[in-house]
Amino acid sequence: MPKPLVSIVVPCYERDERYGQAKYLAYTLSSTVVQEPPFEVIVVDDGSPFEHRIAEIVTDFPNVKYVKSPTNIGTAAARNLGISEVVGDYILPLDGDDALTTNSIALLRQALVAHPTAGVAYGSMLDIDATKYVWSPRCDWTLGDLKAGNCIPSSSMFTRQAWEAVGGYDQSRLVHEDWDLWLAIANLGFTFVHVWQAVIMYRSHPEQQSHWTSNRSDIADYMTQKYEFMNKLPLAALQRQVATGNR
């Protein structure tokens, strides 16, 4: 069997009988198994109190690997755990309630292969029913823009080389760990490549919204202090960090 070129890492958490991602997980995993091979999928149970629900769903997908954290360690650490258990040179994090569009991993991997200096490839997001765009990221942003606000979806593909170079996700970040990762990767000189197609289907629900709006007040100050170097870079240097993929 050939070595998987792409590793899809799916952290999942089932809080209790009412709230959690298990009810969406089968849909998420179904969107991965139709992708262009070779690839591998791993589900990381982030210390769920109701872990049996996640494990039962994964058993319906015999080619999906399952790993469980003994405690709830948070999204950043769960993603790092999953990545440490897989072998792909390209990593695609995918939330347990979202899904991939057709040919997502092929489009993103091809963009990275075509741009050897790139560490991250990203595209647009549709709603979960694929009826409308919920986020069409810009392709003309600078690092100054990235420090001011996240320009890149969390489900973007990055190289193992870039992930290892920055030491993985910052596990001290309880939210916005993806934004922090993109800044760390950019800091080391990796470029970003934009693909024009939609690659992710995003599921919006009340529990998820509360996650995204929590603890936002400290983020701007934290990023400003941690990545102060970006204030000193000339505009031309910032703009060179973005490469644009083919339509």
> Residue 239's pLDDT is what?
45
Cα angle, residue 226 at apex, residues 84 and 158 outer, rounded to 5°: 35
> Residue 224's pLDDT is what?
66
Does the pLDDT value for residue 212 go beyond 50? no
> Residue 207's pLDDT is what?
59
> Residue 19's pLDDT is what?
63
3-12, 151-160, 194-203, 215-224: segment of lowest average pLDDT: 215-224
> Residue 90's pLDDT is what?
98
- Provide the pLDDT confidence category of residue 192 given band limits of 50, 70 and 90: very high
CB of 162 closer than 8 Å to CB of 118: no
> Residue 44's pLDDT is what?
97
Token match 């505009």: residue? 235
> Residue 52's pLDDT is what?
86
Pick from 45-54, 68-77, 203-212, 234-243 the range whose average pLDDT is largest. Answer: 68-77
38-42, 112-116, 201-205, 224-228: segment of lowest average pLDDT: 224-228
CB of 177 closer than 8 Å to CB of 76: yes
Does the pLDDT value for residue 240 go beyond 70? no
| pLDDT tens by residue, 121-169 | 999 999 998 889 999 998 888 887 888 788 899 999 999 999 999 999 9
User: What's the whole-number mean pLDDT along residues 209-221?
Assistant: 52
Which residues fall within 8 angstroms of residue 56, CB to CB, at 6 or more apart?
none
CB of 181 closer than 8 Å to CB of 146: no
> Is the pTM higher than 0.85?
yes
Q: Among 150, 145, 156, 137, which Cα is nearest to 238's?
A: 145
User: What's the whole-number mean pLDDT along residues 205-225?
Assistant: 57
CB of 150 closer than 8 Å to CB of 179: yes
